[in-house]
Structure 1
Amino acid sequence: MQIKDFKVDQSLKELTEHRTVVLPIACYETTINQNINGYIPLHWHDEFQFVLVVKGEAIFQINEENIMVQAGEGLFINSGCLHMAKEKNDSGCAYICLNVSPSFVLSQELYSAFVNPYLKATNLPYLYLDSKELWANNILSTIMKINQLIKEYPPYYEIDISLYLTLIWKNLIMNGIPLEYEQTEVLKSARMKQMLNWIHLHYAEKILLDDIARAGQLSRSECCRYFKRILKKTPLNYVMDYRIQKSLILLQQPDSNVTDVAYQVGFNSTSYFIDKFRKLMNMTPLAYKKIKIMDRL
């Protein structure tokens, strides 16, 4: 099942409950361009995430880094890390996404020694899974097996999945990456999430750079450095893009009109909203609305 409209709270934490009926996991296939935004927007979650690209190629941004992943390759994304994905070269990129609660990876007796250190490590926002590496290929092939089990629901599949997750985690830690713990990195992540949280609470209001900087307990210049380093844009440009992102859902409502939507998401000029929307989406808000109405027919 594809999640086309990511629900996130004000801090960008994804609200989707990642679990099957019994297990605290979710495994589903995602086609990037079918998302309501045309890409997978910035978000984070408590679960570990394993990605296996099965078609095309994509650029994943994880915290400050961009990583290109092609068909047959994958990623491990650590808990709490901001990430997003865009397809590359209109490749129709699709991937299998496996989200797992850290507490379910290994038994409680093994968690402290073999899971928690990786969860807390500040130098492990992600691992690139190259199918040419034995340990990574083992993880990628096991993701496929779990995906198949969830589709078919054979007897005792929950036990099989539990065993496969143990194998995935064993292969991951066999990679041998030395773990580091930098308190400054923890603080940076917390401040970034505080600023994003403030924007998502107040996006419909007038927002000044001072307001955003204050939310992160930073100076104006340091606030701008955070956004440019992590999001590759200025704080106010992020506000603009987020407002347009929020407008996409409103425009799909049958009784909505462009002017009302513009004001609801924080623009004080319809023409300015239309101009910014066109630059980001390559079409006007009205054209977008008409396309979505036709898609439903």
Structure 2
Amino acid sequence: MQMKNFLIDENLKELTKHQTVVLPIACYKTTINQHIHGHIPLHWHDEIQFVYIVKGEAIFQVNEEWIAVKQGDGLFINSECLHMAKDKEQSDCVYICLNVSPYFILSPELFTRYVKPYIQATNLPYLYIDAQKNWGKNILEAILKIYQYIEQTPPYYEMDITMQLTYIWKNLIDNGFKLEYVQTEIVKSQRMKQMLSWIHEHYAEKIKLEDIARAGQLSRSECCRYFKRYLKCSPVNYVIDYRIQKSISLLQQENYTITDVAYQVGFNSTSYFIKEFRSSMGMTPLAYKKNFSY
């Protein structure tokens, strides 16, 4: 299975149902540059995620940190952490993505002791999975097995998957990572999500910096610091980028003109929309529209 696109709601939460017919998991291959946006946009979900790079190299953002993951290695991304991914230097990166509900990893009797402390830790937004380390190699091999089970559905594959998940989690927590719980980090993450959520709800309207700051209960200057820390850009630039992202799906609809799209996504002039779209996508909206097959 190849995942080329997924939907996120106004809170940046991914809407894709991460489950097979009977299990609360999903495991599929993703080619980053084949995604509708050319990258995997910023989002989050309740499920934990394991990534195994099978070709090329990717750069992931998890909360405010950026991580380069090379071919053969992987990444663990914790529950509810903001994350995105982009191809590194046009490497045509392909990775296997395993999403699984934290509640499915172990039985309820073991969840509180062996899972909950890890998904609540504030110093574990991600963990690099190094194939050169024994625990990392074990996890990556198990991810590949789960992908093959789901693709081939051999007899009793559901039980084989559950055994591999337990094996993955045991190797993850057995590497000696020390857990921390800092309330201020939880608050910062919540405020960032609140500001992004507000932008996603109001992107088609006139947006002021003080509106975004108010959504995160911050001053204007502190709001700017949050965006610089988490996203390496200003709030205004993020709004522009998000409007460009929203315009892409509209441009793929034959009945919308360039001017229609510009105003629907919040730009106050067609010329400004064309300028920003070209800067972001490397072509004009009209060229993109002509290249898209209805």
Q: TM-score range by the shorter chain?
A: over 0.9
Counterpart CA distance in 2 for 1:49 and 1:238 is: 25
Counterpart for residue 284 of structure 1: 284
Counterpart CA distance in 2 for 1:2 and 1:154 is: 20
1:2 is displaced (CA, Å) by: 2.7
Pairs within 5 Å for 1:1-297 = 1-293=1-293
Counterpart CA distance in 2 for 1:98 and 1:5 is: 16
SS at 2:292 equivalent: helix
Deviations 1:50-79 (A, max 9, x none): 000000001011111111111100000000
Deviations 1:150-205 (A, max 9, x none): 00000110000000000000000001111000000000000000001100000000
1:130 is displaced (CA, Å) by: 0.5
1:4 is displaced (CA, Å) by: 2.2
Counterpart CA distance in 2 for 1:3 and 1:55 is: 15
1:32 counterpart letter in structure 2: I
2:102 counterpart letter in structure 1: P
Counterpart CA distance in 1 for 2:262 and 2:81 is: 31
1:157 counterpart letter in structure 2: Y
1:6 is displaced (CA, Å) by: 2.2
Counterpart CA distance in 2 for 1:5 and 1:258 is: 23
1:23 is displaced (CA, Å) by: 0.2
1:64 counterpart letter in structure 2: E
TM-score, normalising length from structure 1? 0.98
Aligned-residue CA RMSD (Å) = 0.7
Counterpart CA distance in 2 for 1:138 and 1:203 is: 44
Deviations 1:121-176 (A, max 9, x none): 00000000000010011000000000000000001100000000000000000011
- Identity, % of aligned pairs? 70
SS at 1:76 equivalent: strand
* Structure 1 outlier segments of 4+, above 6 Å: none
Counterpart CA distance in 2 for 1:189 and 1:33 is: 28
SS at 2:61 equivalent: strand
TM-score, normalising length from structure 2? 0.99
Deviations 1:74-93 (A, max 9, x none): 00000000000000111100
Counterpart CA distance in 1 for 2:202 and 2:16 is: 22
1:5 is displaced (CA, Å) by: 2.4
1:150 counterpart letter in structure 2: I
SS at 1:222 equivalent: helix
